[in-house]
Structure 1
Amino acid sequence: MDEDNDSACFNSSLMDMDYFSNLEDIDVTADGSPVLRFLICLVYSVVCAAGLVGNLLVLFFIRVKHERRKSRVNFFVLNLAVTDLQFVLTLPFWAVDTALDFSWPFGDAMCRIILSVTVMNMYASVFFLTAMSVTRYWSLASALKNRTGHHCCSAKLTCVIIWTLATVATAPTTIFSTVSNVTGEKLCLLRFPGGQYWLAVYHIQKILVGFVLPMSIVSISYLMLLRFVRNRSMKTSNPKRRSQVTKSITIVVLSFFLCWMPNQAITLWSVLVKLNVANWDSAYYIVHTYVFPLTVCLAHTNSCLNPIIYSLMRKEFRNKLKGLVHRG
């Protein structure tokens, strides 16, 4: 009897492995429970509402209230708010997709557009966070040497480069995203000509370009910043102000790291499975089916709220927000 049960379990496992090996993208929740889907839809709805209000306020304060001035960091926050505002507009589509048990009802063109905007936001967000960290160090390091530079022009050029890099990095998503019929369900996913191998390469690119490399640059920038602050006496600047700005950027970067790390870790696990380095087993299935969607929610939440977190850490933004509320 035990041998029969073992044989049945083994056969079932083989069927599951064969099912997933035939999918171009195995990063699709295969058996999401109604409770999990409801939770994801709720998170998407809340993040969408908060992201719309928060990012519009950031755009209002920076653009309309002329808070951009010549600050490169403010210019990066402005662009960060723009890309995140675009992203929150995609969340209703993903919420509907989740509510329908991950069955895409909007057609192939919208699949390509929405998936591309989602991925581009991830790249653009981390690139702008990286630029903000490097800029903070460069601003402090150049203060003693009285280097004013052409900050606005430099910021604009940097933003053009960042948007270009994000577009190039998103190109595989735009080219290979499509609606595929899997076991009678229409799923919005990636279909690479080489199947699992190229999908693994695609995820490796996301991990390295969208997480590991930027976080390395950010970490080095902050280590250099801490060393600079300790070794130099910035008599011409306000130490309290400098501490507040540094703290705000640190919170943004740490929130990005903590929110994206679980998603990137599971993505790395899926890469190892695709390359047959790790086995597809029940542990992977459980984590990927029930934990991975929650890590996506966590990552999306951080991506939307970056400008809000950064802006609310700054006294001038808080004062203007209080003034706006009081006038209302």
Structure 2
Amino acid sequence: MHFPALMHWTNNTTTSTPPDSALSEEWELVYTLVPPYIFTISALGLLFNSFVLVVFLSTRDRLTVAEIYLSNLALADFLLMCCLPFWATNILAKFNWPYGDALCKTVNSVIVVNLYVSILTLVMISVDRYLALVKTMKALWLRRTLYAKMICFILWVVGVLLSLPTLIHRKVVYIEELKTLSCILDYRHESSWKLAHQIVMNFGGFALPLLVIVFCSSNIIRSLSKRREIAFHKFSDTKATTLVYTVTLVFLLCWSPFQIFTFLDILCDLNVLEETKWYHALDIGGQVSVYLAFLNSVLNPLLYICSGQYFQKKVSNVSCIKPGHIGGLDNSTGTMDTGLKTGTVPGK
């Protein structure tokens, strides 16, 4: 199984086409409901994420480490939203891909890159909160904006490398029985690639990062509890950490169903589950879970906008900058509003 399409296996080929039950009620609902849904979240996602990027990048204040990571997340989500309309029109055409082989590869590769960059950026946001709130003094030298920018670049390189199987195996193929040109993941001659790709996606792109996030979160909670006991606790710490947890929780709620269906597909490939019994459930479930996952890219910027006064003040600073007024907000005020500046060391 591989998003963003319906999954049908024949001779180890993953195709973006519906099975023999294409005229079933479920598929008619897909054709009717999914394209408007995709167009809607694409429009909202492009609007919200571009707004977040403009606010973060237009301010005259130097971006903090947390803001760099949040901007990186917004950029990944923005690129994903740019690709979704192609899939909406593809579904409207009943999975007859009209854009050629190059866009078939490019669109799907960008979506895969978004998955990896999003989860790895969330990992780095959690690690940054861990360093700021648990290892405050010891890790001060690590929390430099220069390092954050370098890490973001590395995350994109990793995302691109992990998307190479998609770039290699995605192609436009004529499906004889359906009389369509479909953008498919073709593993007919290299079925081991499919299994390896899914395992990397399931564990490297979800399970292992989740372990890191849980480790950081549990230690942050323990550290904040100790601060409360000794009355050394900033309200800004709680607000910033709450934002990070909320973004992470929304990511898990949106992406977990897709990862579960991917894991079930792995079990089918390993003959742990009987594919004939799970075939229809995996097809429909994979379709629904994929487009639920895309909703995450719309919700993330809403969380930033509603997260607190600091982001709202940055918005007002961008729209109402006065001559001679640099940034419009000093670091101490920003720190008290959301804590995103807590423990941040300017980069060199």
Query: TM-score with structure 1 length normalisation?
Result: 0.85
- Please state if 1:207 is matched with 2:202: yes
Residue of structure 2 aligned with 1:275, choices 270, 275, 293: 270
Q: In the alignment, what sits opposite 1:308?
A: 302
Q: Which has the higher helix share?
A: 1
Alignment-mate amino acid for residue 9 of structure 2: F
Report the 3-state secondary structure (helix = DSSP H, G, I; strand = E; otherwise coil) of the residue aligned with 2:140: coil
What displacement does 1:66 show?
A: 3.4
Contact 1:29 1:288 in 2 (8 A): no
- Please state if 1:130 is matched with 2:119: no
Q: Provide the rounded CA distance (Å) in 2 between the counterparts of 1:35 and 1:228.
A: 49
Paired residues for 1:256-295 under 5 Å: 256-282=251-277, 284-295=278-289
What displacement does 1:270 show?
A: 1.4
Alignment-mate amino acid for residue 20 of structure 1: W
What displacement does 1:257 show?
A: 0.8
Contact 2:165 2:193 in 1 (8 A): no
Indicate how the Cα distance of structure 1 residues 214 and 28 shifts in structure 2: closer, same or farther if over 3 A, else same.
Answer: farther
For each residue in 1:115-145, what CA deviation from the matched residue of structure 2 results, as whole angstroms up to 9, or x when unmatched? 1001101110111011000001101224355
Indicate how the Cα distance of structure 1 residues 237 and 168 shifts in structure 2: closer, same or farther if over 3 A, else same.
Answer: farther
Alignment-mate amino acid for residue 215 of structure 1: L
Q: Provide the rounded CA distance (Å) in 1 between the counterparts of 2:271 and 2:168.
A: 26
Report the 3-state secondary structure (helix = DSSP H, G, I; strand = E; otherwise coil) of the residue aligned with 2:98: coil
What displacement does 1:146 show?
A: 8.5
Contact 2:16 2:182 in 1 (8 A): no
What displacement does 1:174 show?
A: 1.1
Q: In the alignment, what sits opposite 2:45?
A: 51
Paired residues for 1:31-50 under 5 Å: 31=22, 33-50=27-44
Indicate how the Cα distance of structure 1 residues 149 and 263 shifts in structure 2: closer, same or farther if over 3 A, else same.
Answer: closer
**Which has the higher mean CA deviation after the structures are superposed, 144-153 or 190-199?**
144-153
Alignment-mate amino acid for residue 143 of structure 1: T
Indicate how the Cα distance of structure 1 residues 29 and 300 shifts in structure 2: closer, same or farther if over 3 A, else same.
Answer: farther
What displacement does 1:159 show?
A: 0.9
Residue of structure 2 aligned with 1:22, choices 8, 11, 18: 11
Aligned residues: 307
Question: What 5-or-longer segments of structure 1 have no aligned partner?
Answer: 1-18
Report the 3-state secondary structure (helix = DSSP H, G, I; strand = E; otherwise coil) of the residue aligned with 1:103: coil
For each residue in 1:40-78, what CA deviation from the matched residue of structure 2 results, as whole angstroms up to 9, or x when unmatched? 1122111111111111110111000235x2411100111
Contact 1:85 1:304 in 2 (8 A): no
What displacement does 1:214 show?
A: 0.8
- Please state if 1:250 is matched with 2:239: no
Q: In the alignment, what sits opposite 1:221?
A: 216
- Please state if 1:163 is matched with 2:163: no
Supply the RMSD in Å over aligned alpha carbons: 2.7
What displacement does 1:324 show?
A: 8.2
Question: What 5-or-longer segments of structure 2 have no aligned partner?
Answer: 1-7, 321-348
Paired residues for 1:107-122 under 5 Å: 107-122=100-115
Q: In the alignment, what sits opposite 2:78?
A: 85
Query: TM-score with structure 2 length normalisation?
Result: 0.80
What displacement does 1:318 show?
A: 3.1
Alignment-mate amino acid for residue 24 of structure 1: T
Contact 1:73 1:132 in 2 (8 A): yes
Q: Provide the rounded CA distance (Å) in 1 between the counterparts of 2:245 and 2:143.
A: 25
For each residue in 1:272-313, what CA deviation from the matched residue of structure 2 results, as whole angstroms up to 9, or x when unmatched? 22232211234x233233332111111011134323323431
**Which has the higher mean CA deviation after the structures are superposed, 85-94 or 144-153?**
144-153
Q: In the alignment, what sits opposite 2:332?
A: none
Contact 2:45 2:298 in 1 (8 A): yes
Percent of paired sites with the same residue: 27
Alignment-mate amino acid for residue 114 of structure 2: N
Report the 3-state secondary structure (helix = DSSP H, G, I; strand = E; otherwise coil) of the residue aligned with 1:178: strand
Q: In the alignment, what sits opposite 2:290?
A: 296
**Which has the higher mean CA deviation after the structures are superposed, 147-156 or 119-128?**
147-156
Report the 3-state secondary structure (helix = DSSP H, G, I; strand = E; otherwise coil) of the residue aligned with 1:211: helix
Contact 1:24 1:199 in 2 (8 A): no
